[in-house]
A = this chain, B = another copy of it.
Amino acid sequence: MKKILKVNMRTGAILEEECPGKYEYFGGRSFIANYLLSEMNPASNALGRENRFIISCGLLADTRLTTAGRFSVGGKSPLTGGVKECNVGGDAGKKLARLGYKAVILEDLPEKREPKVLIIRQGDCRLEIIPNLLNKEVSETSRILREKYGKGIGIICIGPAGELGMAAAVVATFNQEGTQLRVAARGGLGAVMGSKGIKAVVVDDAEAVPEKAYDPEALSLASKEVAKILLEDPKTDNRHNYGTAGVMALCNSLGILPTRNFSQGQFEKADSLSGEFLAQVVDQRGGEGKRGLPCIKGCVIQCSNVFADPEGRAVVGSLQYETLALLGSNCGIGSLDEIARLNNLCNQVGVDTIETGAALGVAMESGLLSFGDAKGAEEIIRQIGRGDIFGRVIGNGAVVTGQVLNNYRVPAIHGQAIPAYDPRSLKGIGVTYVTSPMGADHTAGNTLETVKNLPPRGREKQVETSYRLQIRAALLDSLGVCLFIRPAFVKNPELMPRLLNARYGWKLTYPEVQRMGIACLEAEKRFNSLSGRDETHCDVPEFMRFEPLPPHNTVFDITREEMYEVWNSEIEENIF
């Protein structure tokens, strides 16, 4: 992956160039951070001319390593105002990597908005205008594009919400068979893509001539070791069977499940949203419903599902924990069928289920509809797709919704909605939400995995733990692998330099690899600081410091001063 593709959306100029040497060791998240820091004024407008929309492959994206091939999208976020990276499975990333692109970068703004598609083939990249894609839903966009460019293409696209510049807009993509619609959800990067006037990127790798690894044998060996460890890990089994929803029961028992706009930490209908119950329903219904699916070719974990209605027709895939919590318990909705429909609607109009669920929770608490009103929520999501005014408010996320509806109980940090772990009873993730350059993001350093060893409501070690997990996340997000690969590197961290060295012929040691994660965070923090944000003074939402969270009646009690010691934490020899 030695090439960079730059497309100027004002002039239409397409420039393919060799990736400058200074970016050699960067991929995915670390490429995005360093490229933006070096090339744009961080203080400029997220939907303005200076911002870039970047698609970048992780460093191991073109290998057969399990879970590898996720791609990152990035830019300055219209939600957080800082740098944002968001990565996703599906098959488009692997295709882009096979074509040799480290990154595709959209620059400037078009003079005129019309639905453009960027087609990337071996030796042939161009822009096409496809007028009838205007405001099309995501699956319909996919259908039109596959009809025109062939079934086997990779698609990266936005829905109407992205075209309308909404700050909750996602970037959507698909698995190989097109049966799962996956989204790079957080930070409103769909709006950045939309601002560039690009409705979709089509990746056709039919004639790709992939680069060769430096040492294919060593790469294959290390990859097999990773797969073996994962297959032996009990967490893999749980994930395979129950998907991310496997943590529902745990989160409910810990009292951290966002319920009715973060006013409770347990939901009386949590059982009907659990991973175990979800699996049972999927199995009973049969038909198009399935579980234990890969989202990306070659993944051994296979934690995805397709959820079908009682008649066995697919509704949405994959139905996941964050969505079950934010569109479910947080909205007082306890039915898998209702949540699946809401999830699909969000996917089709192209908005983040976390941000949308949080915004709906605020709207419900403000009295615009009742908690539990799934029909009302459906109608509002349709309004997002139509660009109705209230739809645009919700589609711009929880903070704008709270401001417009005069409700200051907004669960958001750095402008971004808090995901499905209330920090009042899981303190460590609160540290991550506040201090991560990504804003409130559960993939940026999630301390849920530490609750066995570290009391989640205690104050001890939460700061250091957050730092350790933040470095980890930054590193994995730069490799193009899934966070669920962690058990392999926990067991044998040396696998990381082995993989990278075999792929590129580098001579990295494990401490040097670890340093790559730290450097990524540092570049991101620098960008955010230059964007005009003094991160040391941000905090959890005020109400989380005042308002006790049932059932444990906890408030968030780690001080800002304590949290910002995160960057002075001692780094362990092995952060995995």
Which positions in A face B, CB cutoff 8 Å? Answer: 41-45, 47-50, 78, 164-167, 191, 195, 389-390, 392-393, 396, 400, 403-406, 408, 529-539, 541-543, 546, 560
Inter-chain contacts of A393 with B (CB < 8 A): 389, 393, 404
Inter-chain contacts of A49 with B (CB < 8 A): 542, 546
Inter-chain contacts of A45 with B (CB < 8 A): 408, 541-542
9 sampled A-B residue pairs with Cβ under 8 A: A47-B408, A49-B546, A50-B542, A78-B403, A165-B408, A191-B406, A195-B408, A531-B537, A533-B534
Q: A43-B537, A389-B390, A534-B534 are in contact. Are A406 and B166 (CB under 8 A)?
A: yes
Q: A389-B393, A406-B164 are in contact. Are A538 and B43 (CB under 8 A)?
A: yes
Inter-chain contact A42/B537, CB cutoff 8 Å: yes
Give the contacting residue for A400; candidates B78, B400, B536, B542; CB below 8 A. Answer: B400
Separation of A532 and B542 alpha carbons in the complex (Å): 14
Closest to A45 in B: B542
Inter-chain contacts of A546 with B (CB < 8 A): 49
Inter-chain contacts of A47 with B (CB < 8 A): 406, 408
Closest to A538 in B: B532
Inter-chain contacts of A392 with B (CB < 8 A): 404-406
Closest to A535 in B: B532
Chain B's nearest CB lies how many Å from the CB of A170? Answer: 16
Closest 7 CB pairs of A and B: A165-B406, A532-B537, A534-B534, A48-B542, A45-B542, A43-B537, A47-B408
Separation of A43 and B559 alpha carbons in the complex (Å): 12
Inter-chain contacts of A42 with B (CB < 8 A): 537
Chain B's nearest CB lies how many Å from the CB of A280? Answer: 41
Separation of A532 and B439 alpha carbons in the complex (Å): 14
Closest to A537 in B: B532
Given contacts A43-B560, A164-B406, 20 further A-B contacts (CB under 8 A): A41-B539, A42-B537, A43-B539, A45-B408, A48-B543, A50-B542, A78-B403, A165-B403, A165-B406, A167-B403, A392-B404, A392-B405, A392-B406, A393-B393, A396-B403, A400-B400, A529-B537, A530-B537, A532-B534, A534-B534
Inter-chain contacts of A403 with B (CB < 8 A): 78, 165, 167, 396, 400
Inter-chain contact A542/B44, CB cutoff 8 Å: yes
Inter-chain contact A48/B408, CB cutoff 8 Å: yes
Inter-chain contacts of A542 with B (CB < 8 A): 44-45, 48-50
Closest to A392 in B: B404
Inter-chain contacts of A405 with B (CB < 8 A): 392
Separation of A229 and B537 alpha carbons in the complex (Å): 47
Separation of A560 and B393 alpha carbons in the complex (Å): 32
Inter-chain contacts of A165 with B (CB < 8 A): 403, 406, 408
Give the contacting residue for A533; candidates B48, B390, B408, B532; CB below 8 A. Answer: B532
Closest to A393 in B: B404
Closest to A533 in B: B534
Inter-chain contacts of A539 with B (CB < 8 A): 41, 43-44
Separation of A533 and B542 alpha carbons in the complex (Å): 17
Closest to A46 in B: B408
Inter-chain contacts of A43 with B (CB < 8 A): 537-539, 560
Inter-chain contacts of A530 with B (CB < 8 A): 537
Separation of A392 and B405 alpha carbons in the complex (Å): 7
Separation of A34 and B477 alpha carbons in the complex (Å): 45
Inter-chain contacts of A543 with B (CB < 8 A): 48
Separation of A45 and B541 alpha carbons in the complex (Å): 8
Closest to A539 in B: B43
Give the contacting residue for A389; candidates B404, B529, B537, B560; CB below 8 A. Answer: B404
Separation of A546 and B406 alpha carbons in the complex (Å): 35
Inter-chain contacts of A538 with B (CB < 8 A): 43, 532
Inter-chain contacts of A41 with B (CB < 8 A): 539
Inter-chain contacts of A533 with B (CB < 8 A): 532-534
Chain B's nearest CB lies how many Å from the CB of A543? Answer: 7
Separation of A44 and B545 alpha carbons in the complex (Å): 10
Chain B's nearest CB lies how many Å from the CB of A256? Answer: 22
Separation of A531 and B536 alpha carbons in the complex (Å): 9
Inter-chain contacts of A406 with B (CB < 8 A): 47, 164-166, 191, 392
Chain B's nearest CB lies how many Å from the CB of A264? Answer: 19
Separation of A47 and B399 alpha carbons in the complex (Å): 13
Chain B's nearest CB lies how many Å from the CB of A544? Answer: 11
Chain B's nearest CB lies how many Å from the CB of A465? Answer: 24
Inter-chain contacts of A400 with B (CB < 8 A): 400, 403-404
Separation of A165 and B392 alpha carbons in the complex (Å): 19
Separation of A249 and B390 alpha carbons in the complex (Å): 41
Inter-chain contacts of A164 with B (CB < 8 A): 406
Q: Which of A396, A406, A538, A543 has the most CB of B within 10 A?
A: A406
Chain B's nearest CB lies how many Å from the CB of A271? Answer: 34
Separation of A404 and B397 alpha carbons in the complex (Å): 10
Chain B's nearest CB lies how many Å from the CB of A546? Answer: 6
Separation of A392 and B389 alpha carbons in the complex (Å): 10
Separation of A534 and B48 alpha carbons in the complex (Å): 21
Chain B's nearest CB lies how many Å from the CB of A541? Answer: 7
Inter-chain contact B529/A534, CB cutoff 8 Å: yes
Inter-chain contacts of A48 with B (CB < 8 A): 408, 542-543
Separation of A47 and B532 alpha carbons in the complex (Å): 22
Separation of A207 and B245 alpha carbons in the complex (Å): 69
